[in-house]
Structure 1
């Protein structure tokens, strides 16, 4: 039954997340926001909604290890699984913004998260507010940089123009379906994950950094693999890095403001977060050695093997 709960929970999160993204983009068009702003902010936040709902639900029910494991595991999966598998199928090109702006911000937030958690074995409301302020600063600079780049060259924003014609009634229905799907999915997923951890004799943290994290990364993985197989633009490094930034700053920021997140398993600080930092840090040497500005098949395979090792070690503890 716990496996069924996990499956149904992930399914509802995927469906709810899709409806939320579509309704958010359509509503943004109604509010006359530019496609660039929609892509950099609205879509990024909406795609982090499944992680946010799962983390809030877990924290409010006293399972803070799931809140932390969900975010840390998702950040590892975004690089180790999504980026690795996609690069193995089709090489990924890297733009200069990766190492000049997005990657340093991701590393700064990742390191800051480690020290915030280590300082008091808890992420409290004040620290959550600091994360949200840092996110606001990042978005301000991101939009400013994007506007400057747009003046010099066209930008592929990837936003569906057809959503600009969506009726207000349909937007409301999509929002309701998205909200219900995310709420129901988070309830089922957390309940199923706790039961599964008990049945398997492992901690909630292990289930969170593995199964839940992989589950919430499945939509990105599926879309990236399909695009890579079609020889289309699969994903950009910026999209994945941006997702990791949102996971730390918005998901943990908002969750800790609603309910402070305690570190119950020390493995979060002695193991998991170092894997997250390692996967983030290795991107720079991979981006430049031996071939610059490209992550190809062999590099992708290396990342996937490293991710498989992380999952294996998590279950062996």
Structure 2
């Protein structure tokens, strides 16, 4: 039954996330918000909804380890699994903004998260306000930097501009309900599985739940490369990691302090997150400059496999 709950939770999170993205974009068009701003802000927030609901649900239901490791694990999965598999399928070109803006900001958010957690073994309301405030500053800077630049906004479907208010509200209701029940079933099932396997909730959340909440990004990236419709943007994956820390953990800790209840979060998992983030910079210069190809893809997927192996070995 627990496995069924987890499976249904995954499905509802994917469905709910899709409906929320579509309704948010359609509403933004109705409010005459530019396509560029929709792509940089509305879509990013909406695609972080599964992580946000899972983390918030976990924190409020007494499973704070899931809230923290869901984000830490998702950030690792976004680089090791999503970027790695995508690079194995097709070459990913890297533009200048990656190492002049996106990567440094991601490292700052990652280091700030480590500092806040290691300082007093919890993420407090004030720290959540700082993270979320920094995210707002990042978004404003992102929009400012994008002015006068051709922005790839293929992810924003122009046909959504013609959607009626009735359908927008209906999509919002469907998306909201799917995300609510999906996050509830996923957390409930994952906690039960962790108990039956004799491993901690942190282990399940950094592996199973993290991969589950990264499935939409993985599917979108693989499909985009396979169809050769457009080059997958490394900036989008980096932005996802920034949003996970700034919005998911930021908003969750504003509502309720998130204590560190599993030692492995600070002694192992968060260091893996920092290493995966840091290693991206040298990888864009070696062996070929400004691109990720099959070699980098194999290295990232291999490293992710090693991480998951060590997580479960350490749990025994």
Secondary structure at the residue paired with 2:180? Answer: helix
Distance 2:142 2:107 in 1: 16
How far the C-alpha of 1:234 sits from its partner, in A, is: 4.5
Aligned residues: 313
Which residue of 300, 309, 313 maps to 1:312?
Answer: 309
How far the C-alpha of 1:137 sits from its partner, in A, is: 0.7
Which residue of 220, 239, 242 maps to 2:236?
Answer: 239
Q: Is 1:114 equivalent to 2:105 in the alignment?
A: no
Kept after mapping to 2: 8 A contact 1:51/1:251: yes
**Structure 1 partner of 2:293:** 296
User: Which digits, 9 at most, give the CA deviation of each residue in 1:8-58, with x for residues without a partner?
Assistant: 011101000000000000000011000010000000000000000000000
Structure 1 length-normalised TM: 0.98
How far the C-alpha of 1:172 sits from its partner, in A, is: 0.2
How far the C-alpha of 1:163 sits from its partner, in A, is: 0.1
Question: 1:92-103 to 2 correspondence within 5 Å?
Answer: 92-103=92-103
How far the C-alpha of 1:148 sits from its partner, in A, is: 3.5
Segments of structure 2 that go 5 or more residues without pairing to the other structure are none
Distance 2:132 2:115 in 1: 16
**Structure 1 partner of 2:163:** 166
Structure 2 length-normalised TM: 0.98
Which residue of 152, 157, 179 maps to 1:156?
Answer: 152
Kept after mapping to 1: 8 A contact 2:93/2:231: no
Q: Is 1:256 equivalent to 2:236 in the alignment?
A: no
How far the C-alpha of 1:235 sits from its partner, in A, is: 1.8
**Structure 2 partner of 1:9:** 9
Computed over aligned residues only, the root mean square deviation of the Cα atoms, in angstroms, reads: 0.7
Question: 1:73-152 to 2 correspondence within 5 Å?
Answer: 73-149=73-149
Secondary structure at the residue paired with 1:290? Answer: coil
Distance 1:20 1:45 in 2: 10
Kept after mapping to 1: 8 A contact 2:284/2:292: yes
Segments of structure 1 that go 5 or more residues without pairing to the other structure are none
